[in-house]
């Protein structure tokens, strides 16, 4: 005999199990990295340059490099992505051409990051002659996160109720005024969500910076955007696989710093988003 | 004076022929009630006057709509919509404060002076019979107002940009009888200064407030006459049937 209540309990159990399966690995990763990495964290580790062939000292240049790269990527990708999203959601007509563009953007988000790295090498490093530099790396990371920013921004813009636009237009506001004063302010929380996602990805990727900026070992800070820089994900790769006899503590400490950096940057964006959400009035 | 002149107006949305061969005039400083069952083209007709239909990609029209003898398609669209205000079926405040809702349109038309904005907000909120209720809470969100208050706020917002015509699209469909009475009072007062086109599902409302009444059915203008005449001696059997509640 079928008992509908039991079916429901079984369904709930499976759904709960699936959720648990997602949470456990995430929790484990954090616990292991904190457990093994935290002992390495001290002022010297964060503020000193790597010493003794990266087996001692700190990781300051890599932290600075990653901050520069992520900032550069956002400075490049956010304005362009946002403008493209505004065009696609507010101005473009719905036809085959724009649908192809939208499809291409969504698919670009799925392109492997190493392909972006190769693209950045060909375009920025070689063709534009920026060399392996913070500029090339930032632009490559920026292009990599553009699809994420465009897609989420578009969704944020389109989720602003259509009636607000009609009201604004019916009062004689121009289309641009309507976008600028009604649509955009109400889409900011969603746009920031896209930025957070892009930011995390830009900070963590190794492949795009491999050919375009990352230095194996550079004991001083970059002086300009045309300098090479160390970066945390690549540094982590180097000390984990390329340099023998690196203390485990240092490897996990580096991972911990990378994780903390991404979390701190996300936190800033989340706080801004929360501020804007509170202003949301419908 | 003639406010609107409509010549052989036809409207299509894709394959749907929504308005068919409509010819009519709307006089200044009167309330024209537009009645008819659902899908009769009332709202489409209304949105043709301020060209809001053009937001729909499938929209096509033929014929002409003239505002004071000037084709509406020849008028700058922002200017046209400033001259022809609109109040929607549901109260639709913008996600701004009460003050900013009223000031929004004025600001968009270039007014920056704080004094003048404050004056305008107070003046139009009074015209919409809302000032006394909100004067101490102008900086609160407009969404904190009741439905009837929100609708009067929308009227004030429309008045603030200085229109000549106000279009009402079933403005009381979401309101209780007391709020409805307040909105209707406001409309009758507004007639002195503005031309009003009122689309309504409520036949009695048209009888109460409008000077002339137009009856639309299936996209055709069946009859347009003085309200008294429409409700006592309609020329067309279909009008008679609708106002007596035989269909609709």
pLDDT tens for each residue of A190-241: 898 888 888 888 988 889 998 888 888 887 888 888 888 889 999 999 988 8
**Is the CB of A1 inside 8 Å of chain B's CB atoms?**
no
Nearest-neighbour CA in chain A from B46: distance (Å): 12
Measured between alpha carbons, how far is A106 from A104 in angstroms, rounded to an integer? 5
Per DSSP, what are the bridge partners of residue B22? B9
CA neighbor of A48 nearest in space, from A39, A40, A56, A57:
A57
Mutate to test the interface with A, among B55, B72, B95, B144 (most CBs of A within 10 A): B95
User: Quick check: B47 and B89 in contact, CB under 8 A?
Assistant: no
pLDDT tens for each residue of A63-118: 999 999 999 999 999 999 999 999 999 998 888 999 999 999 989 988 999 999 99
User: Quick check: A157 and A86 in contact, CB under 8 A?
Assistant: yes
Measured between alpha carbons, how far is A206 from A234 in angstroms, rounded to an integer? 5
Query: Residues of A numbered 195-214 whose beta carbons fall under 8 angstroms of chain B's beta carbons: which are they?
Result: none
Assess if residue A196 is contained within a domain.
yes
Angle CA(A277)–CA(A278)–CA(A282) in degrees, nearest 5? Answer: 80
In angstroms, what CA-CA distances link B59 with A59, A234, B15, B241?
Answer: 62, 56, 10, 31
Query: Based on the number of CB atoms within 10 Å of its own CB, is B133 exposed (0-12), middle (13-18) or buried (19 or more)?
Result: middle
Assess if residue A38 is contained within a domain.
no
CB spacing of B81 vs A169 below 8 angstroms? yes
Q: Which of A69-83, A268-282, B53-67, B115-129 has the lowest mean pLDDT?
A: A268-282
Report which of residues A46 and B195 the model is more confident about.
B195
- The percent of chain B in helix, strand and coil, each rounded to the nearest 5, is 40, 30, 30
> What mean pLDDT do residues B202-222 have?
91
pLDDT tens for each residue of B38-87: 889 999 999 999 999 998 888 999 999 999 988 999 999 999 999 999 99
Check pLDDT > 70 for residue A268.
Answer: yes
Nearest-neighbour CA in chain A from B244: distance (Å): 34
Mutate to test the interface with B, among A94, A170, A278, A282 (most CBs of B within 10 A): A170
In angstroms, what CA-CA distances link A69 with A4, A49, A136, A198, A212?
Answer: 55, 18, 9, 12, 11
The position carrying tokens 């616990």 is A31
Residues in chain B: 248
Measured between alpha carbons, how far is B90 from A281 in angstroms, rounded to an integer? 17
Sign of CA dihedral B153, B154, B160, B162: negative
- Contacts with A281 from chain B: Cβ below 8 Å: 95-96, 141-143
* Element housing A277 (H / E): helix A248-279
Measured between alpha carbons, how far is A71 from B123 in angstroms, rounded to an integer? 49
- Contacts with A168 from chain B: Cβ below 8 Å: 94, 104, 108
Helix-then-strand count for chain A, H and E: 12, 2
Assess if residue A14 is contained within a domain.
no
Predicted confidence at residue A281, as pLDDT, reads: 53
Instruction: Tell me the average pLDDT of chain B.
Output: 90
* Element housing B62 (H / E): strand B59-67
Assess if residue A12 is contained within a domain.
no
> What mean pLDDT do residues A44-73 have?
87
Q: Which residues contact B16 (CB under 8 A, 6 or more apart)?
A: none
CB spacing of B94 vs A168 below 8 angstroms? yes
What secondary structure does DSSP assign to B123-161, as a single string?
Answer: HHHHHTT-HHHHTT-TTSBGGGS-HHHHHHHHHHHHHHT
Assess if residue A78 is contained within a domain.
yes
Predicted confidence at residue A279, as pLDDT, reads: 66
Instruction: Tell me the average pLDDT of chain A.
Output: 89
Neighbouring CB atoms inside 10 A of A11's CB total 10
**Boundaries of domain holding A100:** 58-159+187-279
> What mean pLDDT do residues B122-143 have?
90
The position carrying tokens 């004689």 is A172
Predicted confidence at residue B108, as pLDDT, reads: 93
Q: What percent of chain A has pLDDT over 90?
A: 51
Predicted confidence at residue A122, as pLDDT, reads: 93
- Contacts with A282 from chain B: Cβ below 8 Å: 95, 143
* Element housing B212 (H / E): strand B212-217
Rounded to a whole number of angstroms, the distance between the first and last alpha carbons of chain B is: 33
CB spacing of A281 vs B95 below 8 angstroms? yes
CB spacing of B92 vs A182 below 8 angstroms? no
Nearest to B79 among A165, A168, A172 (CB): A172
The segment with the largest mean pLDDT, out of A54-58, B44-48, B177-181, is B44-48
Q: In this structure, what CATH number is given to the domain that contains residue A151?
A: 1.10.3720.10
Assess if residue A68 is contained within a domain.
yes
Check pLDDT > 80 for residue B248.
Answer: no
Sign of CA dihedral A250, A252, A256, A258: positive
pLDDT tens for each residue of B220-237: 999 999 999 988 888 888
Predicted confidence at residue B175, as pLDDT, reads: 82
Predicted confidence at residue A1, as pLDDT, reads: 58
SS3 A93: coil
CA dihedral A48, A51, A57, A60 (to 10 degrees): 40
CB spacing of A168 vs B82 below 8 angstroms? no
> What mean pLDDT do residues A239-256 have?
88
Assess if residue A15 is contained within a domain.
no
Q: What percent of chain A has pLDDT over 70?
A: 98
Under the banding of pLDDT at 50, 70 and 90, the label for residue B246 is confident
Chains A–B, number of C-beta pairs less than 8 Å apart: 67
State the DSSP code for B33: E
Query: Residues of A numbered 73-102 whose beta carbons fall under 8 angstroms of chain B's beta carbons: which are they?
Result: 93-94
Predicted confidence at residue A280, as pLDDT, reads: 59
Predicted confidence at residue A248, as pLDDT, reads: 85
* Element housing B238 (H / E): helix B237-243
**Is the CB of A167 inside 8 Å of chain B's CB atoms?**
yes
Query: Based on the number of CB atoms within 10 Å of its own CB, is A120 exposed (0-12), middle (13-18) or buried (19 or more)?
Result: buried
Q: Which of A36-45, A83-92, B101-110 has the lowest mean pLDDT?
A: A36-45
Measured between alpha carbons, how far is A119 from A103 in angstroms, rounded to an integer? 20
Predicted confidence at residue B16, as pLDDT, reads: 92
Per DSSP, what are the bridge partners of residue B16? B13
Q: What is the ipTM of this complex?
A: 0.90
User: Structurally, how many domains does chain A consist of?
Assistant: 1
Assess if residue A175 is contained within a domain.
no
Check pLDDT > 80 for residue A282.
Answer: no
Nearest to A282 among B95, B105, B109 (CB): B95
The position carrying tokens 């399966």 is A21
- Contacts with B158 from chain A: Cβ below 8 Å: 171
pLDDT tens for each residue of B38-50: 889 999 999 999 9
Mutate to test the interface with B, among A163, A166, A171 (most CBs of B within 10 A): A171
């Amino acid at each position: 005999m079928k008992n509908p209540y039991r079916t429901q309990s079984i369904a709930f159990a499976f759904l709960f199990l699936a959720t648990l399966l997602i949470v456990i690995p995430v929790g484990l990763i954090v616990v292991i990295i904190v457990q093994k990495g935290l002992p390495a964290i001290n002022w010297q580790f964060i503020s000193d340059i790597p010493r003794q062939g990266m087996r001692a000292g700190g990781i300051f240049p890599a932290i600075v490099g990653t901050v520069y790269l992520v900032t550069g990527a956002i400075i490049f990708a956010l304005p362009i992505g946002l403008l493209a999203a505004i065009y696609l959601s507010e101005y473009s007509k719905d036809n085959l051409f724009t649908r192809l563009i939208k499809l291409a953007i969504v698919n670009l988000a799925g392109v492997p990051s190493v392909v972006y790295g190769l693209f950045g090498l060909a375009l920025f490093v070689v063709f534009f002659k920026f060399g392996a530099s913070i500029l090339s790396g930032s632009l490559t990371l920026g292009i990599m996160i553009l699809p994420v920013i465009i897609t989420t921004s578009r969704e944020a813009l389109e989720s602003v109720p259509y009636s607000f636009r009609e009201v604004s237009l019916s009062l004689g506001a121009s289309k641009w005024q309507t976008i600028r004063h009604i649509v955009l302010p109400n889409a900011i929380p969603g746009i920031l969500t896209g930025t957070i996602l892009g930011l995390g990805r830009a900070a963590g990727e190794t492949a795009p910076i491999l050919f375009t900026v990352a230095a194996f070992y550079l004991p001083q800070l970059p002086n300009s955007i045309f300098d090479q820089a160390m970066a945390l994900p690549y540094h982590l790769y180097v000390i984990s696989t390329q340099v023998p006899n690196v203390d485990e503590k240092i490897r996990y400490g580096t991972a911990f710093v990378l994780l903390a950096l991404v979390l701190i940057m996300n936190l800033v964006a989340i706080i801004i988003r929360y501020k804007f959400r509170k202003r949301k009035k419908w | 004076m003639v406010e609107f002149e409509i010549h052989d107006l036809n409207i299509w949305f894709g394959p749907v022929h929504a308005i068919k061969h409509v010819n009519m005039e709307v006089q200044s400083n009167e309330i024209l009630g537009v009645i008819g069952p659902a899908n009769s083209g009332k709202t489409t007709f209304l949105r043709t006057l301020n060209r809001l239909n053009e937001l729909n990609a499938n929209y096509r029209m033929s014929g002409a709509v003239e505002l004071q003898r000037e084709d509406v398609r020849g008028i700058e669209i922002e200017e046209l919509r400033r001259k022809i205000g609109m109040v929607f079926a549901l109260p639709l405040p913008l996600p701004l404060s009460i003050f900013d809702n009223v000031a929004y349109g004025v600001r968009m038309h270039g007014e920056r002076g704080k004094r003048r904005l404050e004056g305008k907000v107070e003046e139009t909120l009074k015209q919409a019979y809302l000032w006394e209720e909100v004067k101490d809470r102008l900086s609160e969100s407009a969404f904190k107002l009741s439905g009837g208050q929100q609708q009067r706020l929308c009227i004030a917002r429309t008045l603030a940009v200085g229109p000549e015509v106000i279009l009402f699209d079933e403005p009381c469909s979401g309101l209780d009888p007391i709020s409805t009475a307040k909105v209707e009072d406001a409309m009758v007062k507004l007639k002195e200064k503005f031309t009003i086109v009122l689309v309504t599902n409520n036949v009695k409302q048209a009888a109460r407030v409008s000077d002339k009444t137009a009856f639309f059915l299936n996209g055709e203008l069946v009859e347009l006459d003085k309200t008294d005449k429409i409700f006592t001696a309609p020329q067309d059997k279909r009008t008679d049937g609708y106002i007596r509640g035989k269909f609709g």
